[in-house]
Structure 1
Amino acid sequence: MTKVKVLVVGGTGYIGKRIVKACLAQGHETYVLRRREIGLDIDKLQMLLSFKMEGARLVEGSFSDHHSLVEAVKLVDVVISAMSGVHFRSHNLLLQLKLVEAIKEAGNVKRFLPSEFGMDPARMGHALEPGRITFDEKMTVRKAIEEAQIPHTYIIANCFAGYFVGNLSQMVTLLPPKENVLLYGDANVKGCFMDEDDVATYAVKTIDDPRTLNKTINIRPPDNILSQRDLVEMWEKLTGKQLHKNTISANDFLAPLKDDGEYAHQVGIGHFYHIFYEGCLTNFEVKDDEEASKLYQEVEYTRMNDYLKRYL
């Protein structure tokens, strides 16, 4: 296996810390950007120092100092951006575009993985506002990457299990419901749910694979294509307890979008609608050479029945 030099940007984030560990586990020479703006965030600093103890190299850089970004990029063959997409609006868009500019100027990067790891923005041009801005801005980054002719791979990871599985896809909690569960429509629309560590493993597998160059790779293993009802039934079987089921129609579910609610909540409503009513994660075919579990059959990915056991 070829070992490459990888720079992870956003390495202390939710998916970023897992990507750092996956790079190290797969034997790559791993660099993590240590931003000068870290200030007094002791948790992030200690995480960075723990990466260093595990063999990663910390590289100082700042998005307010273009030269420092270019110099950091020049050290490596591959750049992976894992900056949070939860608040991807304008600020993070600007940071991503600055990173693209640094990669373009450095001129040495053989592969760039931008901050995606969710739904495929190229398929979400019809998405509801205000959540659509997330997809539109990711497409802006893709356009900049392709115009700069930067070799790339786009990773579509679908639903992170931590946000969608342990809570049986309830929006108001991250924990399993004890008595009542809200079902979206008939709850039979299929989604895809992934252990976040597996997402990182698959993503890092692509970075030096010629089969994934300038492609969109879906992480959509067959055993993890499940409906909300499937998740609920798994949990009921594990616990031996039936939950009381309430159903909400699409119209009622979308009603809060008419109000001036919290931005993040309204984005969540739109995303949940597209996943659980529209089936946006599974209503299209993926070729075997564009699906991670087919490309990397050696990876033993986590099935959601096993994932749920941690909540018992």
Structure 2
Amino acid sequence: MGKSKILIVGGTGYMGKRLVKASLAQGHETYVMQRPETEIGVDIDKVETLISFKKQGAHLVPASFEDHKSLVEAVKLVDNVICAVSGVHIRSHSILLQLKLVEAIKEAGNVKRYIPSEFGMDAAKMKNAMEPGKVAFDDKMVVRKAIEEAGIPFTYVSANCIAAYWLGGLCQFGKILPPRDHVIIHGDGNLKGIYVNEDDIATYAIKTIEDPRTLNKTIYISPPKNILSQREVVQKWEKLIGKELHKITLSKDDFLASKNVLDYGQQVGLSHYHDILYEGFLTSLKIGDEEEASKLYPEVKYTTVDEYLKQYV
């Protein structure tokens, strides 16, 4: 397969910068949308990130969600488009901005594949998700509907649990660094999650972009060694630091009682932890080998939970 031209929208963000890196690493001619200062504010970090992309060989493309013509012109430069605008409410939530990008892709008429901003749990399987967290999935389904009604070729990438948000805090809600004395166990701690390194998510996503096997499908990143319960994650950390943590069990009722003192963004996050750690939404996820990224691309050496946790020792 020849290497295509890829436009990455949201390239300076958490997942976006990893997608740019992976696209370049896999030899694609990579274009990154550069939004005007009026949209990003005086954000020096984003400017520096864009300049670093340029030094690595990426092309910067000035365009704005508020300027339809500029979006169409940007899209016409490439074969494929990947969007990585934020869908995390504690940071910013811009999922529905993609509706403007979908309109531009539809008008341009040249895009062979669009990967929308998902990279988490499969929105189509989260119909029974807890409120207010369900809004994240509902918005993604609005975007999917627009993509499919426009007849745009797509791949949806479901990466389940992003490692930094989950493994860093040993699956404790609101924690991003692993403790060395005690840990809160959600429920019985035995329901399994699926944890994926952010760089691996980007690598797999770029792999799918011109693979005919992934056209108009949802692809799941579910590395077999990374399907673990919270207790299993804690045990791996204990082995690394040579110490057993004191464990405090938190019931579902007590967990939900904490919701009332949280702001909206935190309530959304709490809902996701509830769905995975108390309801086991990912435990029941059934997919075939033809849908699973590590089976489709065995040449990729994915990061195991053990390897990921070592950076915190």
- Report the TM range for the smaller structure's normalisation: over 0.9
1:123-272 correspondence runs (5 A) = 123-257=125-259, 259=260, 261-272=262-273
Q: Once the 2 structures are TM-superposed, how far is the Cα of residue 88 of structure 1 from its aligned partner?
A: 9.4
Is 2:30–2:58's contact at 8 Å kept on the other side of the alignment? yes
User: Aligned pairs, how many?
Assistant: 311
- Alignment correspondent of 2:22: 22
Is 1:130–1:266's contact at 8 Å kept on the other side of the alignment? yes
Rounded to whole Å, the distance in 2 between the matches of 1:172 and 1:221 is 24
- In structure 2, relative to structure 1, the CA distance for the partners of 1:107 and 1:216 (3 Å cut) is same
1:311 is aligned to 2:298: no
| Comparing 260-269 and 193-202, the one that deviates more | 260-269
- Alignment correspondent of 2:275: 274
Is 2:185–2:250's contact at 8 Å kept on the other side of the alignment? yes
Is 1:89–1:134's contact at 8 Å kept on the other side of the alignment? no
- In structure 2, relative to structure 1, the CA distance for the partners of 1:162 and 1:73 (3 Å cut) is same
Structure 1 letter corresponding to 2:167: V
Q: Once the 2 structures are TM-superposed, how far is the Cα of residue 87 of structure 1 from its aligned partner?
A: 2.9
Partner SS state of residue 14, structure 2: coil
Rounded to whole Å, the distance in 1 between the matches of 2:289 and 2:283 is 14
After superposition, the C-alpha distances for 1:128-184 in whole angstroms (9 at most, x for unaligned) are 111111110100000000000100000000111111112101223211112110001
After superposition, the C-alpha distances for 1:182-208 in whole angstroms (9 at most, x for unaligned) are 001111111100110000000000000
Q: Once the 2 structures are TM-superposed, how far is the Cα of residue 90 of structure 1 from its aligned partner?
A: 10
Structure 2 letter corresponding to 1:2: G
Structure 1 letter corresponding to 2:21: K
- Alignment correspondent of 1:114: 116
Rounded to whole Å, the distance in 2 between the matches of 1:186 and 1:65 is 51
Q: Once the 2 structures are TM-superposed, how far is the Cα of residue 264 of structure 1 from its aligned partner?
A: 1.2
Q: Once the 2 structures are TM-superposed, how far is the Cα of residue 49 of structure 1 from its aligned partner?
A: 0.5
Structure 2 letter corresponding to 1:295: L
| Comparing 165-174 and 135-144, the one that deviates more | 165-174
After superposition, the C-alpha distances for 1:93-128 in whole angstroms (9 at most, x for unaligned) are 441100100000100000000000001110111111
Rounded to whole Å, the distance in 2 between the matches of 1:308 and 1:88 is 24
Partner SS state of residue 34, structure 2: strand
RMSD: 1.5
- Alignment correspondent of 2:104: 102
- Alignment correspondent of 1:291: 292
Rounded to whole Å, the distance in 2 between the matches of 1:175 and 1:256 is 20
Q: Once the 2 structures are TM-superposed, how far is the Cα of residue 91 of structure 1 from its aligned partner?
A: 6.6
Rounded to whole Å, the distance in 2 between the matches of 1:127 and 1:300 is 32
Unaligned runs of 5+ in 1: none
After superposition, the C-alpha distances for 1:233-255 in whole angstroms (9 at most, x for unaligned) are 00101101110001011122112
Partner SS state of residue 100, structure 1: helix
Rounded to whole Å, the distance in 2 between the matches of 1:183 and 1:266 is 19
Is 2:153–2:215's contact at 8 Å kept on the other side of the alignment? yes
Structure 2 letter corresponding to 1:165: L
Partner SS state of residue 311, structure 1: coil
Rounded to whole Å, the distance in 1 between the matches of 2:103 and 2:163 is 33
- In structure 2, relative to structure 1, the CA distance for the partners of 1:89 and 1:151 (3 Å cut) is farther
- Alignment correspondent of 2:89: 87
Q: Normalization by structure 2: what TM-score?
A: 0.97
Q: Once the 2 structures are TM-superposed, how far is the Cα of residue 260 of structure 1 from its aligned partner?
A: 5.9
Partner SS state of residue 216, structure 1: strand
Is 1:89–1:133's contact at 8 Å kept on the other side of the alignment? no
- How much identity, in percent, do the aligned residues show? 64
- In structure 2, relative to structure 1, the CA distance for the partners of 1:41 and 1:118 (3 Å cut) is same
Is 1:88–1:134's contact at 8 Å kept on the other side of the alignment? no
Q: Once the 2 structures are TM-superposed, how far is the Cα of residue 261 of structure 1 from its aligned partner?
A: 2.9
